[in-house]
């Protein structure tokens, strides 16, 4: 593990690690990452090889067990962060207030109460603010109201912080009044940047011509050219924190200029013709895929459904120039992940992991504000 001098966080519902990466780049030490999906956990382990991982059902996890797994005693945890499953709240889904996954939102706050971190950050979809979920939010925040100063829910667009996606999410942030300086919405708002990272800027250097037969993980490794945009470059090109990254993937990236995730997709002649006829911003009438606008932002990338809901692939955007849907590596760029970062060795799992993730650019911006408030 890394130096004990850094403030420690536990990442719940860690997924592939968008929040984890943001936390580490902000200066935190990741004490533990917890995730029940074995494919997401495997990818997290690959990218964060020197950190502790726990593959378990968080619904059955106690605060005492969580702290023990992290190797922390009472008072040693600085932050509990995470993005509880949001499918039950999503406007894309059925928005069922009885969806059992909604209980995991309340569980996050129960673990905050039991673990007593200095602060917490919980991310979710905007749908959770709906009136039908008032009771769920009230039940969750009731767990922490006595010990924490809880900010009103804050909506953040990833693009406001320099990410190439218009993805907007709500964050629930709280801190212990006795151990952290005051946090305010205005403090986070000040992290917004004037820089707009467009789709064209984000995809620069990635191969535009993708062979539809590049279907294996081995075939997906392709050459990448340098980025010219300095702001986005610092997030995706290099900047590998100590103790992070798969050793072989980092070697290929640094020494050979190769990156993974450039999977091909087989489109029929009919589909190809339809996509070719689309102008930027137009939507395909059959697949409902939208052609990305080069000087615009990527819309929110969807994760699709899990195995319990039929394993349906989410609708993927169409490349702004090529007449095909985007690759997982292009999706990763558009979400703000670095080129050395690895995902599952399959398209379906890769897109799920990227679509379910918090943009690490946004995560870092939020957590940089908080770490400066820790004495």
pLDDT of residue 101: 55
Residue extent(s) of CATH 3.90.120.10 domains in the chain: 199-355
pLDDT of residue 268: 97
Q: Is 115 a catalytic residue?
A: no
CA 340/CA 258 separation, integer angstroms: 9
Nearest CA to 199 out of 58, 298, 327, 77 is that of 298
By DSSP bridging, strand 8-12 and strand 29-34 are parallel
Averaged confidence pLDDT in the chain: 92
199-355, what's its fold? DNA Methylase; Chain A, domain 2 (3.90.120)
Residue extent(s) of CATH 3.40.50.150 domains in the chain: 8-193+357-371
What token pair was written down for 214?
A: 């590049």
pLDDT of residue 2: 40
Would residue 35 be called left, alpha or beta, if left means φ above 0 and alpha means ψ between -120 and 50 degrees? Answer: beta
Sign for the pseudo-dihedral over CA of 345, 351, 356, 359: positive
pLDDT of residue 91: 45
CA 358/CA 223 separation, integer angstroms: 26
pLDDT of residue 189: 97
Q: What does the DSSP 8-state code read for residue 223?
A: E
CATH class of 8-193+357-371: alpha beta
pLDDT of residue 103: 87
CA 303/CA 306 separation, integer angstroms: 9
- Percentages (nearest 5) of helix, strand, coil residues in the chain: 35, 15, 50
Active-site residue, from 86, 140, 259, 297: 86
Sites in the chain below the pLDDT cut of 50:
1-3, 90-97, 99, 305-311
């Amino acid at each position: 593990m890394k130096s004990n001098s850094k403030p420690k966080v536990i990442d719940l519902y860690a997924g592939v690690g968008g929040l984890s990466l943001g936390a580490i780049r902000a200066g935190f030490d990741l004490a533990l990452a917890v995730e029940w999906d074995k494919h997401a956990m495997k990818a997290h382990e690959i990218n964060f090889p020197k950190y502790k991982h726990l593959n378990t059902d968080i619904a059955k996890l106690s605060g005492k067990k969580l702290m023990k797994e992290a190797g922390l005693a009472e008072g040693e945890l600085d932050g509990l962060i995470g993005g509880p499953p949001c499918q039950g709240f999503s406007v894309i889904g059925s928005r069922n207030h009885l969806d059992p996954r909604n209980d995991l939102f309340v569980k996050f706050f129960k673990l905050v109460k039991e673990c007593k971190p200095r602060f917490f950050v919980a991310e979710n979809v905007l749908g959770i603010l709906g009136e039908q979920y008032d009771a769920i939010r009230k039940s969750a925040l009731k767990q922490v109201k006595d010990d924490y100063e809880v900010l009103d829910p804050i909506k953040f667009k990833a693009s406001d912080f320099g990410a190439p996606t218009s993805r907007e999410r709500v964050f629930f942030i709280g801190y212990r009044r006795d151990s952290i300086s005051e946090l305010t919405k205005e403090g986070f708002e000040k992290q917004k940047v004037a820089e707009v990272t467009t789709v064209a800027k984000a995809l620069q250097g990635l191969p535009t011509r993708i062979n539809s037969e590049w279907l294996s993980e081995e075939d997906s490794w392709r050459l990448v050219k340098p980025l010219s945009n300095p702001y986005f470059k610092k997030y995706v090109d290099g900047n590998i924190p100590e103790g992070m990254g798969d050793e072989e993937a980092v070697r290929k990236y640094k020494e050979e200029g190769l990156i993974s995730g450039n999977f091909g997709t087989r489109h029929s002649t009919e589909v190809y013709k339809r996509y070719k006829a689309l102008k930027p911003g137009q939507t395909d009438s059959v697949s409902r895929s939208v052609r990305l606008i080069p000087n615009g932002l990527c819309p929110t990338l969807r994760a699709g459904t899990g195995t319990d809901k039929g394993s349906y692939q989410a609708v993927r955007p169409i490349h702004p120039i090529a007449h095909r849907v985007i690759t997982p590596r292009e999706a990763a760029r558009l979400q703000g992940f670095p080129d050395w970062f690895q995902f599952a060795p399959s398209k379906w799992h890769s897109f799920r992991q990227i679509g379910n993730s918090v943009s690490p650019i946004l995560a870092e911006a939020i957590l940089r504000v908080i770490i400066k408030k820790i004495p």
